[in-house]
Amino acid sequence: MTVIGVASMKNSPGVTTFALALAATWPCGEVLLAELDAAGGELAGHFRLEPDPGVASLATELRRSQEPDVLGRHTQALPRGLRVIAAPVRQDQAYAAISAMTATLPDVLKKLPPETTVVADLGRLTGPSTELAARADHVLILTRPRLTELAHLQGLAEAVPHAEIVLIGRGTYPANEVTEAVGLRIRAHIAHDPGARAFLEGRRQRTRVVRAARRLATTLSTGAHVGAAS
């Protein structure tokens, strides 16, 4: 079982889109997309999902059951079959539900079959999202290579030492300077993708982000390291 968190520190350069693309292109085993964004979810709105089952109903059941089959009862299927546990749209509901799960969800995930992969959309890394990230196997932090955004990565190496950076688009600083400044390695560098939003909204299936996510999914699934993706 592998848990891969996708997050940002300040602005959100396509965290939900990238998490969705990563899960949709995962090459092996069973994959589940968990929308654990404490600021509120996007998937329910984009894909017209029902309010329940989802993160809120899962948080309620986890109070009395921590068996691994509990997760399957709180998923919905996206149009191409990907299973997702969607977060409430409202921030107060999402924050309360995800906060309630920080002590139980990581232990439940550990009980899943070894061929299962959970891609967790953590949104902005703060509060309960940081607690969940600390217990994930991989954490990908999406950021643009700009001073205003890189400044928010300071101190992240102490809180989540296994986090890695995915640079999005062009910016002021090259990859080597980013690594030196924040103490985290670059896992990938993805070109800006004007079509990314169309993928999230279900209007396009082939974009730069999807191609980059597929390459990264392949390397993560085999334990290989990729220095760049574009």
Q: Is residue 51 part of a domain?
A: yes
Whether 215 and 21 have beta carbons less than 8 Å apart is answered as no
Structural tokens at position 86? 């969607």
Q: Is residue 187 part of a domain?
A: yes
Whether 185 and 225 have beta carbons less than 8 Å apart is answered as no
The mean pLDDT value for 1-24 works out to: 89
Start-end of H helices in the chain: 15-24, 43-47, 55-61, 91-101, 105-110, 128-134, 147-150, 156-159, 175-182, 196-200, 208-222
The mean pLDDT value for 158-185 works out to: 80
Residue type, 68: P
Q: Is residue 230 part of a domain?
A: no
The region of weakest confidence among 51-65, 119-133, 198-212 is: 198-212
Which pLDDT score, from 0 to 100, does residue 186 have? Answer: 87
Which pLDDT score, from 0 to 100, does residue 29 have? Answer: 92
Range of the domain at 197: 2-222
171, HSE (Cβ side, Cα atoms, 13 Å): 22
Which pLDDT score, from 0 to 100, does residue 211 have? Answer: 87
Is residue 86 pLDDT above 50, yes or no?
yes
Q: Is residue 110 part of a domain?
A: yes
> Residue 154: pLDDT band by 50, 70, 90 thresholds?
confident
CATH at residue 165: 3.40.50.300
131: left (phi over 0), alpha (psi -120 to 50) or beta: alpha
Between residues 153 and 193, the one the model is more confident about: 153
Count of domains in the chain?
1
pTM of the model: 0.89
Per-residue pLDDT tens digits for 101-149:
999 999 999 999 999 999 999 999 888 999 999 999 999 999 888 777 7
Q: Is residue 229 part of a domain?
A: no
